[in-house]
C-alpha cells in the first residue's frame, strides 16, 4: 500500500481546506516545494498535489509550484482544473507522473476515454462523493450521479486508478469512511486510492488490513493529520510496507 502525502496549493501556498470550503482555509507553508522536500526526506516516493485554484477556476493556476515540486524527483500525482487535453499534456510535460481527472470525468466519458488511449496509466479519475453522489467543480456542485456508477463506467473505459474521496470526512480528522471505501473496492473496477478522514495511526492500520483483503486498494492520501502532527510520515511509510 502506498502512502500519498498531500499538498493542496492555493495562491501559491500550501493550505488545507475543511471539506473543500474556500472560506475554511489554513495556511501551513508559503512554499509547497519545501513541504514536498520534507516528504521526500522522510522517504516518500509519491506526493499528491491538488491545485485548488485550478479546481475552482477550471484550469490550472499553480503550475509553477507544481513544476518546482516535480523538479525534486518525486512522483507527482496532480489534480485540480485538468479539464482539457492541453492542460493534461502541459502537466505531464512538467514531469507529473499521474494526472487526476475529476469534474470532466463526471461530464464526459469520451474525454476520459481519449486520455486513457493517449496516456494509459498516467490518467487517474478522482471520484469525490457527498452522501454517495459525485461532487464536482471543487466540490461546489453535487450531481445526481452515484459514485459507484461512475466508477463502473470509468473502469469500463480502461481507467486503472480511482481516487475515492468521502467529502464528509475530508479534513475533519474523524477517520475514513471504511464502508464507502470497501464498497468501492468491491466493485473491482480499478485500483483505488482512499482519501478523506485519516486522523491517527490506527486509521492507516485499518486501511492496511483492508488492503490485505482487497488487493486493489493501492494506497491512501494523508493530509491534515500530517500537518497537525497527529501522525508522522516515516511511521506511516513503515506501516504501509
Residues noted as catalytic = 8, 128
- Burial annotation 73-108 (CB, 10 A radius, 16+ → b, else e): ebbbbbbbbbbeeebbebbbebbbbbbbbbbbbbbe
Q: Is 211 left (phi over 0), alpha (psi -120 to 50) or beta?
A: alpha
- Name, in order, each residue with C-beta under 8 angstroms of 104's C-beta and a sequence gap of 6 or more: 82, 83, 111, 112
Q: How far is CA 41 from CA 36, 37, 44, 195, in A?
A: 9, 6, 7, 23
Nearest to 123 by CA among 113, 134, 136, 133: 113
CA distance 116 to 123: 6
Written in H, E and C, the secondary structure of 118-157 is HHHHHEEEEEEEECCEEEECCCCEEEEEEHHHHHHHHHHC
Q: Is the Cβ–Cβ distance between 208 and 240 less than 8 Å?
A: yes
Query: Within 10 Å of residue 180's Cβ, how many Cβ atoms?
Result: 21
Amino acid at each position: 500500500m502506498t502512502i500519498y502525502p498531500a499538498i493542496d496549493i492555493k495562491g501559491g501556498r500550501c493550505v488545507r481546506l475543511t471539506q473543500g470550503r474556500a472560506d475554511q482555509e489554513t495556511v501551513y507553508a508559503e512554499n509547497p516545494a519545501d513541504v514536498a522536500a520534507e516528504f521526500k526526506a522522510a522517504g516518500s516516493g509519491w506526493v499528491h498535489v491538488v491545485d485548488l485554484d485550478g479546481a475552482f477556476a477550471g484550469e490550472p493556476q499553480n503550475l509553477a509550484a507544481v513544476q518546482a515540486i516535480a523538479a525534486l524527483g518525486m512522483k507527482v500525482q496532480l489534480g485540480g482544473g485538468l479539464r482539457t487535453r492541453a492542460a493534461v499534456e502541459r502537466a505531464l510535460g512538467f514531469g507529473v507522473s499521474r494526472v487526476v481527472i475529476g469534474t470532466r470525468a463526471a461530464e464526459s466519458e469520451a474525454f476520459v476515454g481519449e486520455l486513457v488511449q493517449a496516456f494509459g496509466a498516467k490518467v487517474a479519475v478522482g471520484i469525490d462523493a457527498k452522501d454517495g453522489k459525485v461532487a464536482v467543480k471543487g466540490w461546489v456542485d453535487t450531481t445526481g450521479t452515484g459514485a459507484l456508477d461512475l466508477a463502473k463506467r470509468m473502469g469500463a473505459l480502461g481507467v486503472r486508478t480511482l481516487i475515492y474521496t468521502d467529502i464528509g470526512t475530508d479534513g475533519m480528522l474523524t477517520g475514513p469512511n471504511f464502508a464507502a471505501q470497501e464498497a468501492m473496492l468491491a466493485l473491482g473496477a480499478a485500483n483505488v486510492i482512499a482519501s478523506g478522514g485519516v486522523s491517527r495511526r490506527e486509521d492507516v492500520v485499518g486501511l492496511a488490513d483492508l488492503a490485505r483483503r482487497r488487493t486493489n486498494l493501492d494506497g491512501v492520501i494523508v493530509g491534515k493529520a500530517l500537518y497537525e502532527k497527529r501522525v508522522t510520515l516515516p511511521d506511516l511509510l513503515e506501516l504501509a510496507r
